[in-house]
């Protein structure tokens, strides 16, 4: 009878350890992967971007959290007012109650970050002083401010068409 009790106790302990281990594994499931989409993801820098701005959409963020969108600047690429080694802000938005995001790049961001225009004394953009970002592919990251959930995408700036 004692032998059976020890066998039952051993079986009970092993079963309990398996249940605890499975529960621990479930608790350490990776967080759902967030997504980021840029529309259009390839563009030429033209004034048309002021009327039809770049749109950032994504999912997988915490409900109702603020999401910040930044461009990672490659070595040698600078943006006025952004210290070397830091990212350039492209926008922000608030995720909806399902963790989805949709926000547009603002006109001022387009002018100051992508075109890097100068400004007249009357506070009008001066495209003659502009130093636009060079053509290339830029990494863009969206970060949830509460959760630190990140999503990445790329934005490709195409060279302007050759003048005929």
Express each pLDDT in 93-118 by its tens digit: 999 999 999 999 999 999 999 999 88
Return the number of other C-beta atoms located less than 10 Å from residue 118's C-beta.
Answer: 14
Q: Please report the pLDDT score of residue 149 as a whole number.
A: 96
Angstrom distance (rounded) from CA 23 to CA 19: 6
The verdict on 11 and 86 lying in the same domain is no
Tell me if 68 is assigned to some domain: yes
In a domain, 164, yes or no: no
* Gap between the terminal Cα atoms of the chain: 99
**What is the domain count for the chain?**
2
How high is the pLDDT of residue 121? 86
Answer yes or no: do 6 and 78 share one domain: no
Q: What is the pLDDT of residue 70?
A: 97
Verify that 22 and 41 share a domain, yes or no.
no
Tell me whether residue 108 is in a domain. yes
Answer whether residue 163 is part of any domain.
no
Instruction: Please give the pLDDT value at position 119.
Output: 87
Query: What pLDDT was estimated at residue 67?
Result: 97
In 30-70, where does DSSP find H-type helix? 48-51
d(CA 44, CA 3): 80
> What pLDDT is attached to residue 100?
97
Task: Please report where in the chains the tokens 């006109």 appear, as a residue.
Answer: 107
Task: State residue 161's pLDDT score.
Answer: 77
> pLDDT, tens digit, for every residue of 77-90?
999 989 988 999 99
Per-residue pLDDT, 28? 59
Residue 113: how many CB atoms within 10 A of its CB?
22
My answer on whether 17 and 40 are in the same domain is no
Domain limits at 144? 31-158
Burial track 8-25 (b if 16+ CB lie within 10 A, e otherwise): eeeeeeeeeeeeeeeeee
Residues 19, 82 within the same domain: no
12 and 59 assigned to the same domain: no
The reply to whether 14 and 79 lie within a common domain is no
C-alpha 40: how far from its chain's center?
A: 15
- Is 12 part of a structural domain of the chain? yes
Same domain, yes or no: 123 and 99: yes
Predicted confidence at residue 108, as pLDDT, reads 93
Q: Report yes or no on 127 lying in a domain.
A: yes
Question: CATH no. for residue 55?
Answer: 2.60.40.10
**Residue 5, φ and ψ in degrees, nearest 5:** -65, -45
Query: Strand 42-44 and strand 150-158: pairing?
Result: parallel
Residues 149 and 82 in one domain: yes
Same structural domain for residues 74 and 133? yes
pLDDT of residue 30: 59
Within 13 Å of residue 121, how many CA atoms lie on the same side as its CB? 0
Statement to judge: residues 96 and 115 lie in one domain: yes
Give per-10-residue mean pLDDT for the chain (164 aa): 59 64 60 88 92 96 97 93 92 96 95 91 87 95 96 94 74
Question: Could you tell me which residues come within 8 angstroms of residue 71 by beta carbon, excluding any fewer than 6 positions away?
Answer: 87, 88, 90, 113, 138, 139, 140, 155
Same-domain status, 1 and 41:
no
Please tell me the distance from the alpha carbon of residue 54 to that of residue 46, in angstroms, as a whole number: 12
């Amino acid at each position: 009878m004692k032998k059976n009790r020890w066998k039952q106790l051993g079986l009970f302990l092993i079963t309990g350890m398996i249940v605890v281990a499975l529960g621990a594994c479930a608790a350490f499931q990776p967080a759902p992967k967030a997504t980021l989409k840029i529309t259009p993801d390839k563009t030429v820098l033209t004034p048309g971007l002021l009327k039809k701005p770049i749109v950032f959409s994504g999912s997988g963020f915490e409900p109702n959290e603020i999401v910040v969108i930044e461009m990672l600047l490659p070595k040698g690429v600078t943006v006025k007012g952004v210290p070397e080694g830091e990212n350039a802000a492209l926008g922000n938005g608030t995720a909806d109650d399902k963790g989805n995001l949709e926000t547009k790049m603002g006109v001022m961001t387009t002018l100051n970050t992508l075109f890097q225009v100068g400004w007249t004394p009357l506070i009008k953009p001066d495209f003659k002083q502009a130093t636009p970002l060079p053509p290339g592919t830029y990494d863009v990251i969206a970060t949830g401010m509460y959760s630190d959930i990140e999503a990445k995408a790329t934005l490709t700036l195409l060279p302007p068409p050759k003048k005929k």
